[in-house]
């Protein structure tokens, strides 16, 4: 699999886990940026505690996952961000649990930004092997 698409199976596994938990992803994409990124737009029916806001999950290979939201976020960008995990590649089940918690009550007063968990320019940290495990 091409380096710039190697994160797609991981993101697809997260989408599937969210669906099993009743959290609907209306659209998602795996971007071939450096660092590689992904965005999962959540269906408004899955995000009633954020009325009037677009809500999404964003991932990148340096910072991991964040829940983001704001009015018209899918078009012009999100106003708020909340880090969801303490590493860059939590299991789909772990991220589903974190998302479910983030969708239970609005996080307006608890906005956080994740730090960097890994340097995406590092070739020998085992990250590519972890990503490849999702292609099987």
* Predicted confidence (pLDDT) per residue in 61-117, tens digit: 999 999 999 998 888 888 888 888 888 999 999 999 999 999 998 876 556 666 788
* Predicted confidence (pLDDT) per residue in 21-37, tens digit: 999 999 999 999 889 99
* Predicted confidence (pLDDT) per residue in 49-72, tens digit: 999 999 999 999 999 999 999 998
pLDDT for the residue 111:
64
Report residue 16's pLDDT band, with 50, 70 and 90 as the boundaries: very high
| Alpha helices, H only, the chain | 8-20, 73-76, 92-102, 127-132
Question: Which residues make Cβ contacts (< 8 Å) with residue 58, sequence separation at least 6?
Answer: 37, 38, 39, 40, 65, 66, 68, 81
């Amino acid at each position: 699999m091409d380096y710039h698409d190697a994160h797609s199976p991981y993101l697809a596994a997260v989408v599937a886990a969210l669906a099993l938990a009743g959290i609907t992803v209306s659209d998602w994409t795996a971007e071939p940026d450096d660092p590689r990124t992904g965005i999962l737009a959540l269906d408004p029916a899955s995000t009633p505690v954020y009325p009037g806001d677009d809500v999404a999950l964003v991932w990148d290979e340096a910072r991991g996952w964040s829940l983001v939201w704001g009015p018209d976020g899918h078009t012009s960008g999100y106003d708020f961000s909340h880090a969801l995990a303490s590493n860059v590649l939590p299991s789909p089940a772990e991220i589903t649990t974190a998302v479910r918690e983030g969708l239970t009550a609005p996080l307006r007063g608890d906005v956080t930004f994740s730090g960097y968990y890994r340097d995406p320019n590092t070739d020998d940290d085992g990250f590519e092997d972890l990503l490849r495990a999702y292609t099987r």
